[in-house]
Structure 1
Amino acid sequence: MKAETWIFVICTVFFVLVTPAYWFVTDGTDKGGDWTGTSALTMTALLTAMVALYLGFHAKKMDARPEDRKDGEIADGAGELGFFPPYSWWPLWCAATLGVIVSGIAAGAWWLAIIGAVLGAVALSGLVFEYYRGEHAH
């Protein structure tokens, strides 16, 4: 994870350098620069710093992966990489029910939001328990 840590450290440095530059470039009035963009860039710099710290702490605790070692070979990374789920229709139904809930709230039709929440509970249950029944059970 050392490579990922360095990517986020470089991004953090970039955003720390760009934020004051953005502030001065957008200074078109006597009041100062653009507050919205400056605060967004500041928060982005803080978020990338947070991810870099997280990855850095975990990289010290983990054994070095083949791509982190100087003598690592391509064959060292061979083998099972994990479980990757096959196709699924449940995310579509979860998104559709969320759309119904949001549309119901936006339109002020609470009955529609309640119907969407009930159908959303069914869709979310189907997504969570997908691998316990049916074709992909294990």
Structure 2
Amino acid sequence: MKTSALIFMSGLVFFTPVAFIYGFLTDFTELVGFPAMLLLGLMAMMIGGGLWLEHRRIGRIPADDLEGEISEEPYEYGFYSPWSWWPLTVAAGGAVAFLGVAVGMWIVPFGAVIAIVGLVGLVYEYDRGNHAH
């Protein structure tokens, strides 16, 4: 967690000078880039500060150890089906829906139906049949 905090904190060191360089090159007339880069640096600092405070509260975690194993983590990552086609169906539905936003809103319901069918299939995949838990 300490490494993650330092990586995010370095965003402030990078984005703040880049914002001022960008502002200088555009004579501070471009009203989106300069404030956006400043806010990006501040947001990176905010996330890094939160991670740093969490590191001070918890201490070292197995992810900080170069020789650490996943089994040393105090929680489970969850179960992921290795041969499931349902995530691909959900992604295809999302892709069709976003295509509808770009091409025509009449396509969005088709994408939503495909995504909902994929989501229901993904949730209930291990509820019945040969793979039921």
TM-score of the superposition, structure 1-length normalised?
A: 0.69
Which among 69, 78, 97 is matched to residue 78 of structure 1? 69
Q: Distance in 2 between matches of 1:46 and 1:134?
A: 51
Structure 2 contact 62–69 (Cα < 8 Å) conserved: no
Question: What letter corresponds to residue 19 of structure 1 in structure 2?
Answer: A
Partners of 2:129 and 2:56 lie apart in 1 by: 42
Match of 2:18 in 1: 18
* Cα separation, partners in 2 of 1:120 and 1:21, compared to 1, 3 Å: same
Q: Quote the offset at 1:73 in angstroms.
A: 7.3
**Displacement after TM superposition at 1:45 (Å):** 0.8
Q: Give the Cα–Cα distance (whole angstroms) in 1 for the partners of residues 48 and 124 of structure 2.
A: 34
Query: SS where residue 35 of structure 1 aligns?
Result: coil
Name structure 1 gaps, 5 residues minimum: none
Count of aligned residue pairs for this structure pair: 128
AA partner of residue 117 (structure 1)? A
> In the alignment, is the contact (CA less than 8 A) between 2:97 and 2:109 conserved in 1?
yes
The CA deviation at 1:121 is 0.8
Quote the offset at 1:24 in angstroms.
1.0
Deviation of 1:131 (Å): 4.9
TM-score normalised by structure 2 residue count: 0.72
Partner of 1:118: 113
Deviation readout 1:69-96 (Å, 9 max, x if unpaired): xxx673xx23626547334322221121
- Take 2:122 and 2:9, find their aligned partners in 1: how far apart are those partners? 36
Structure 1 residues 132 and 59 mapped into 2: Cα distance closer, same or farther (>3 Å)? farther
Question: What is the distance in 2 between the residues matched to 1:73 and 1:108?
Answer: 50
Aligned structure 1 segments of 4 or more residues deviating by more than 6 angstroms: none
The yes-or-no answer on 1:91 pairing with 2:82 is no
8 Å contact kept, 1:24–1:33: no
CA contact (8 A) 1:15 1:42 kept: yes
Q: Percent identity?
A: 38
Paired AA for residue 98 in structure 2: V
Q: Give the 3 Å change call, closer, same or farther, for CA 129–62 of structure 1 in structure 2.
A: farther
What displacement does 1:9 show?
1.0
Distance in 2 separating the partners of 1:117 and 1:21: 44
